[in-house]
Amino acid sequence: MMKTSLEMMTETHRKQSYHSPSLDPDTSYIHMATRLISHIQVGVMLLDEERRLIEINRMASQYLGLERTSVLFHPIEEIISCLSHEQPDFNRLVSFLTSSLEKQDQLEIKWIMRGRINKLLITATPTDRLECDCRGTYFFIENVTKVRALEEQVRCNQRLATIGQIAAGAAHEIRNPLTSLRGFLQVIGYRLKEIGQKKEQGYIDIMLKEINRINHLVSEFLSLSKPDNVNLKPVRVSKVLGEILPIIKSEAILHNIDVMIQTPCKLTKVIADEELLKQVFLNICKNGIEAIGEGGLLTIGFRRDESNDYFIVDITDTGSGIPESLRDKIFEPFFTTKENGTGLGLPICQQIIREIGGAITLKTGSYGTTFSVYLPDTML
């Protein structure tokens, strides 16, 4: 039986469809690719050759504070006007977005999101590197805040470890002569007291005081290395603070400063060394009192970060705040703004808290400063 021309054409089309794949992409894959780009945790932006925004995904919109539907297909100059001009690196970002590129380039900027300074790494690449007919530039935006913080932590730990090793080796050699000097000076001072040489005895007291200061400095050096006898156990934070609160209040009274305790959450236990925890809280509270000067308020508050299982102690002073130029330096060893400071107090506190898996952060301004001590919550 002879086939009709329609049947023959249909059969031919069927064979062609079977043996050679279609050149038109499956719309389901296009849809999947679009959804993938919109949900990845990296910001993506695409500008055409006329510098119009052809695509921007959810993360890029979130990072830059843009509404996708409001900026899509608009020139980059109009989009820039939608950005906050108060951002720390606004001008650098504008220059980067509007410059013409012949090869891949990168820019790292500080960008405020939800009240916090983040570090964004922006990579710009011309589309001709993709070997396609489209001309333009695509941008990848990555939030590298945590990466940079970890890198800085590694550098800081390396510095602390080096100082600790030097201190451990030198401490014995320094303390031996100090012990001898203190002993002989005490004998001389006793003799001078017996014969009534009070003025000369006063000189001996000054020398003994300076020797004690050197000995204290050596002890702080040793604290920068990991303590050998750390007694980690469940510790109730309320008990630790209760034992040092009289010391904090007595220091505050001397400067006409009030101390207020806030307990908005249920107090808990943390895994820590009780004595080292006291050292951390005392040091931060003492710094707060010194920052206030005369007359003010020191507040100690408690809260829980349930999403990350942290118990947080906030210590807030009403001082003048820490200048922006100094905020990145206060945890560096030997950095101090105090006339007789060693610059080791906060680095030691940070080292102690890191050893138990916690962290210390700060928030500061003209209203004062808050140090937040994050402690792993045992839920006991």
Residue 297 has pLDDT above 90, yes or no: yes
**Local structure of 159: helix, strand or coil:** helix
Residue 110 — left, alpha, or beta (φ > 0 → left; ψ -120 to 50 → alpha)?
A: beta
What distances in angstroms separate CA 112 from CA 86, 333, 337, one per listed residue?
9, 28, 27
193 or 285, which is more confident?
A: 285
- The stretch 304-317 carries a mean pLDDT of 84
CA atoms within 13 A on the CB side of 378: 14
Q: What percent of the chain has pLDDT over 90?
A: 22
- E-strand spans in the chain? 43-48, 53-56, 105-113, 116-126, 136-143, 233-236, 257-262, 269-272, 296-305, 310-317, 359-365, 368-376
Structure tokens belonging to residue 378: 């045992």
79 or 268, which is more confident?
A: 79
Work out the pLDDT band at 2, boundaries 50, 70, 90.
very low
- Picking from 8, 70, 75, 27, the residue whose alpha carbon sits closest to that of residue 48 is 75
Question: Are residues 256 and 362 part of one domain?
Answer: yes
Q: Which amino acid is at 318?
A: T
Task: Determine, yes or no, domain membership for 114.
Answer: yes
Distance, CA of 77 to CA of 106 (rounded, Å): 20
Q: What percent of the chain has pLDDT over 70?
A: 79
257-262 and 296-305 beta bridge pairing: parallel
Q: Which amino acid is at 95?
A: S
Determine which of 38-42, 161-165, 318-322 has the lowest per-residue pLDDT on average.
Answer: 161-165
Work out the pLDDT band at 129, boundaries 50, 70, 90.
low
Task: Determine, yes or no, domain membership for 6.
Answer: no
pLDDT of residue 281: 93
**Local structure of 201: helix, strand or coil:** helix
Task: Determine, yes or no, domain membership for 28.
Answer: no
200 or 38, which is more confident?
A: 200
Q: Where are the alpha helices (DSSP H) in 195-273?
A: 198-223, 237-254
Check which CATH number belongs to the domain holding 72 and give it.
3.30.450.20
pLDDT of residue 308: 66
pLDDT of residue 172: 65
Check which CATH number belongs to the domain holding 296 and give it.
3.30.565.10
Question: Are residues 328 and 246 part of one domain?
Answer: yes
Question: Are residues 248 and 216 part of one domain?
Answer: no
Question: Are residues 238 and 190 part of one domain?
Answer: no
For 195, which DSSP code?
T
- Predicted confidence (pLDDT) per residue in 237-293, tens digit: 888 888 889 889 988 998 899 999 887 666 677 888 888 899 899 999 999 999 898
| CA–centroid distance for 117 within its chain | 10
Determine which of 165-174, 204-213, 318-327 has the lowest per-residue pLDDT on average.
Answer: 165-174
Question: Are residues 357 and 244 part of one domain?
Answer: yes
pLDDT of residue 13: 43
Distance, CA of 87 to CA of 113 (rounded, Å): 10
pLDDT of residue 223: 63
Distance, CA of 146 to CA of 259 (rounded, Å): 34
310-317 and 43-48 beta bridge pairing: unpaired
- Picking from 273, 277, 214, the residue whose alpha carbon sits closest to that of residue 242 is 277
Average pLDDT, the chain: 80
- The stretch 125-153 carries a mean pLDDT of 81
Work out the pLDDT band at 331, boundaries 50, 70, 90.
confident
Residue 226 has pLDDT above 70, yes or no: no
Distance, CA of 356 to CA of 49 (rounded, Å): 53
Determine which of 155-159, 181-185, 225-229, 355-359 has the lowest per-residue pLDDT on average.
Answer: 225-229
- Highest-confidence range of 115-124, 211-220, 325-334, by mean pLDDT? 115-124
Q: Are 286 and 277 in contact (CB under 8 A)?
A: no
End-to-end CA distance of the chain: 88
Residue 122 has pLDDT above 80, yes or no: yes
Tokens 């300074």, residue? 117
Give CB contacts under 8 A, 24+ apart, made by 323-329.
327/362, 327/364
Question: Are residues 264 and 351 part of one domain?
Answer: yes
377 or 51, which is more confident?
A: 51
Task: Determine, yes or no, domain membership for 19.
Answer: no
Structure tokens belonging to residue 351: 């080292």
Task: Determine, yes or no, domain membership for 73.
Answer: yes
Question: Are residues 360 and 254 part of one domain?
Answer: yes
Q: How many domains does the chain have?
A: 3
* Chosen domain end from 223, 248, 276: 223
Question: Are residues 295 and 255 part of one domain?
Answer: yes
Work out the pLDDT band at 18, boundaries 50, 70, 90.
very low
Task: Determine, yes or no, domain membership for 351.
Answer: yes
Q: Which domain holds residue 132?
A: 40-143
* Chosen domain end from 223, 246, 272: 223
* Chosen domain end from 190, 223, 256: 223
- A 10 A CB-CB count for 110 gives 13
